[in-house]
Structure 1
């Protein structure tokens, strides 16, 4: 007689039920490395935020109860110009050191983190990564118009990279652990454990697959708990209670597509700025020039400095007037793109959130002239979430992050989701790239136009689709520079080896059966060659 706990479904299998071996793909060794990665990300993130606070208080004239924006507003014009120009000096020296190879070079000394996860199997070099992270924190504290999350993301991914190397994990598990480490870094510094985990899955890995959720959650939760040893356990933004009205509902339906089009422009602006990074001869000059111009502009508009956290808080409270909001709305993304084009390291999460809050607030204030009654700050919250979702192509993670950052979003959940759906839908119709994938200028998008060829970063589904579409027994695999690395046969793609598990993070590089050496790079389309990242000697 079968026990009640042993009864199995005798009918057709349910597609949303995991098989008994789904979690066995990840060994106990992987889980131990995931927990250790969470500890490293939590401690690293906490220390970096302590460093940011120390730099801000040393550079700007803080008074009791001041936030960063208030401290900048208390500074004299000369001090603003000198401090921000000093940030350019720090960024230039750091980039010059990295490009000259004074420190050990290798995978991880530059480039977007998503590129390192997919093209380098999550491998990051310790010394360049730490230098970039510390530089990012220092220049943000000095006024760079970039996000602070890039540093903890890199440190979390670096912890995962070192642990994966020590444990000799397969490449597929390396990618998963590195993405979880990066998400844990965000979770630690913003106190968003669920949002950090979903960000790692949806934005960095491109899939919210059930077998990947437990390790992402475990890493983010551990990192957040550890960060409480150094950071306060409180929401990032303090907002009042906002009720839902019919005005907000109609506005969300109308504003969503507009926000999506602005997100497309912003993604393309950031991609262009990333391409324009100066060469070796201008590694020192470009940051100095850009930051000096930023400091001069910030004398009149101090809101441009920093990652924009205090501007978002003001928008959520509905404080700034329309004229000031419109001015910052135009200048803030230009300032962020200029800092990025100069080669300064930094994140884009909070600047993107700031742009969304400004856009939502501006559209909301204009809307209130014709349909008054709703609080202006509510429009800023809805706009911030919608633009973040459209720019990162991560609607679920954007909603979860906004909910955890404010801890009061539940009252506006319906208009938020309505605007987010409209923004993401329009953005995906116009631009398939996200804010992060747009900074990978070579790889899958370039080789997709070459018949019978896939990138090393192509996922298993993309690899199988290429084999089916071409009808060939094998396809060629090239790296991000267009150099052939081998081929994948149909049998290998259909019958993957255990080393390729979990398949959700497996790429074409894991199925290569025959490599070639001394081969010439495959010629890529002209546009891709122009946007290829420069390599250091």
Structure 2
């Protein structure tokens, strides 16, 4: 005999669906407003992001093993016996494959948005398809040995995961932005086994601010990303060091000078990238062929300096734990800067996160060796000076000083490096801000005409338009209307202003109702509004309905008026409404207060 007769098997499912329908509103409110749900969602996003980062790194390293014929346990940036022909062929083939992806990108009618731009301008909304495309390009670029890191790819994918989860849960704008930051935090934490650095990266670069309200979700995401990566990969990124009492006053001064040097070199790197892009743009070479040319040049350079290939993680470990001649270090430094600029400037995808760490380690090693020659530095402390350079260069390029300082501490497991690392990071950050004004991420936005200095939410002012703010109680009359009809329709006290439109219904100005009633006493009965055309006010004080809110505030001062008429477009100029300066400023204050409440969790 059946325990569940036919026709009754699906009753529990039907009951569950019925319960969900009854409590659907309460469930949506719970998912939207509950703080605990937000922390759980952030942890899930972080775990997924850590897994994505680990898998992409694992795929890239596996590709290196097979494509370049590396031995077991050997990494590309530390390999010395590579075949020159094989290197040129593989790196150029990577350029061909990445160039082929631009055939798809040429069909896109929009710019691909990265996590920083999404949080700054679009409330954290990202395209998952676009992000997967960027991740694929980064994977191809890194897997075929280009002189870039893969961080740009997995942070893009991680940010998109956070964005989609936030939108699925119907969270508010601030929560979606924070989940994007949580995704990036989980990715960095998983890739480097550094949850503190991952959380700081999410706060500094993606979310743009740190508050108690955002602490729990972002930290939960970073820890979850680290745990997911460790469970998946089973090992941690670690650099063993022997500090030998590093941290005296003399070394502190050296750390400051090293930070300044790293800041100046990072500016040179960023200039080189944009310079290479300009050269390729002026050459009129199609986007499809630029990675091919860039890959060929990088491959030719790698024949002489093989440490240029890859992100440089293992080469950095070699530098930190071995003595390299200064001349060789200088060649590697210059070559890596040029190779990275060629890789990014020719169209390969990736990031300068790992590259900046490698360049900083090389710069620090040069400074340490010069200090040993001058009798200022003990030979055993060269590795720690390299570590200071690593954090300083990374902070200058990436624009996340605390994340880089924490990363240096976590990958070494040694708290004695805190003082010199912080001093170097501080000096590098101030140098870049004073000399250049941008990190690499914000510099790229500046080149596209976007005035973004980080992940701070400035998009609400751009997404709010004059149409959203205008008052719609604006009466419009044709200019052919007689004065008698106008006075009959609009008696004194009915309204202050009335818009006048010409024969094509285009806005021509405002009439003061009270003043017109006074003037009408002395006018002929057959007069029309056209006879008072010279008396119209605010004839040129109009803006289009699509005008952004941040531009409206400046227009009041620029035109020296307290009222702007909103028209549909520049051609037809149909009056839709109006906005006053007092109302615009009041709305601005209200939005600022709303952002403050979101930030502090009130």
Tell me if TM exceeds 0.5. Answer: yes
Distance in structure 2 (CA, Å) of the matches to 1:263 and 1:157: 26
Partner of 2:398: 392
Q: Is the 8 A contact 1:180 1:220 kept in 2?
A: yes
Deviation at 1:241, TM superposition (A): 4.0
490, 497, 509: which one pairs with 2:585?
490
Q: Relative to structure 2, which stretch is displaced further, 267-276 or 186-195?
A: 267-276
Residue 494 of structure 1: how far off its partner (Å)? 2.1
Assess if the C-alpha contact under 8 Å between 1:173 and 1:505 holds in 2.
no
Give the direction of change, closer, same or farther, for the CA distance of 1:239–1:96 in structure 2 (3 Å limit). farther
TM-score, L = length of structure 2: 0.69
Q: Quick check: 2:432–2:439 contact (8 Å CA) kept in 1?
A: no
Distance 1:42 1:475, change over 3 A: farther
Equivalents in 2 of 1:394, 1:43: separation in Å? 23
| Structure 2 counterpart of 1:336, from 335, 340, 347 | 340
How far, CA to CA, are the matches of 1:28 and 1:373 in structure 2? Answer: 52
Indicate whether 1:405 and 2:411 are aligned. Answer: yes
* TM-score normalised by L of structure 1: 0.77
Q: Does 1:437 align with 2:532?
A: no
Change (3 A) 1:253 1:489: same
Q: 1:34 aligns with which of 35, 42, 54?
A: 42
How much does 1:342 deviate?
A: 1.3
| Equivalent pair of 1:360/1:384 in contact (CA under 8 Å) | yes
- What residue number does 2:513 align with? none
Does residue 416 (structure 1) correspond to residue 421 (structure 2)? The answer is yes
Residue 261 of structure 1 pairs with residue 264 of structure 2: yes
Other-structure match for 1:169:
171
For structure 1, list consecutive stretches of 5 or more residues without a partner in the other structure.
Answer: 1-23, 448-452, 477-485, 507-537
Q: Are 1:68 and 2:73 counterparts?
A: no
Partner of 2:309: 305
Q: Displacement, 1:387?
A: 1.8
Q: 2:192 aligns with which of 181, 190, 194?
A: 190
Q: CA deviation at 1:497?
A: 9.3
> What's the CA shift for 1:145?
0.7
Match of 1:295 in 2: 299
Structure 2 segments unaligned to the other structure (5+ residues) = 1-31, 454-458, 465-548, 566-577
Partner of 2:350: 346
- For 1:475 and 1:70, the matched residues in 2 are separated by 65
Instruction: After TM superposition, give the deviation of residue 430 of structure 1 in Å.
Output: 1.8
**Could you tell me whether the CA contact under 8 Å between 1:43 and 1:227 is conserved in 2?**
yes
Q: Residues 319 and 276 of structure 1: is their aligned pair in 2 closer, same or farther, counting only changes over 3 Å?
A: same
Residue 97 (structure 2) pairs with residue 90 (structure 1): yes
Alignment coverage as a number of residue pairs:
459
**Aligned partners of 1:474, 1:264: CA distance in 2, in Å?**
45
Residue correspondence of structure 1 range 73-222 to structure 2 within 5 A: 73-101=80-108, 110=112, 112-222=114-224
Label 1:255 to 1:475 Cα distance change in 2 as closer, same or farther (>3 A): farther
CA drift at 1:242: 4.1
Decide whether the 8 Å contact of 2:61 with 2:75 is kept in 1: no
Q: Secondary structure at the match of 2:72?
A: coil
**CA deviations over 1:496-533 (Å, ceiling 9, x no partner):** 49985764499xxxxxxxxxxxxxxxxxxxxxxxxxxx
Does the C-alpha gap of structure 1 residues 129 and 253 become closer, same or farther in structure 2, counting only changes over 3 Å? closer
Q: Which has the higher contact order (CA 8 A, sep 6+)?
A: 1
Deviation at 1:136, TM superposition (A): 1.0
**Which residue, 447, 458, 462 being the options, matches 1:456?**
462
- Cα distance 1:497–1:36, how it changes in 2: closer, same or farther (>3 A)? farther
Q: Distance in 2 between matches of 1:214 and 1:118?
A: 21
| 8 A Cα contact 2:54 2:229, kept in partner | yes
Q: Does 1:251 align with 2:254?
A: yes
**Rg larger in 1 or in 2?**
2
Cα distance change of structure 1 residues 496 and 261 upon mapping to structure 2, 3 Å threshold: same
CA distance in 1, matches of 2:34, 2:345: 40
Distance 1:398 1:100 in 2: 37
- Contact 1:444–1:454, Cα closer than 8 Å, also in 2: no
SS at match of 1:489: helix
Out of 25, 44, 51, the position equivalent to 1:43 is 51
Contact kept, 8 Å, 2:247 with 2:419, in 1: the verdict is no
Does structure 1 retain, via aligned residues, the 8 Å contact 2:33–2:171?
Answer: no
| CA deviation map 1:101-135 (0-9, x unaligned) | 4xxx766xx35432233223322222332132133
RMSD: 3.6
Q: 1:200: how far off?
A: 1.0
- Separation in 1, partners of 2:261, 2:592: 47
Query: Which of 207, 221, 232 is the matching residue for 1:230?
Result: 232
- The SS at the match of 1:239 is coil
Instruction: Tell me, yes or no, if the aligned pair for 1:390 and 1:427 is still in contact at 8 Å.
Output: yes
| Alignment-derived partner of residue 53 in structure 1 | 61
Q: How far apart, CA to CA, are the structure 1 residues paired with 2:228 and 2:563?
A: 47
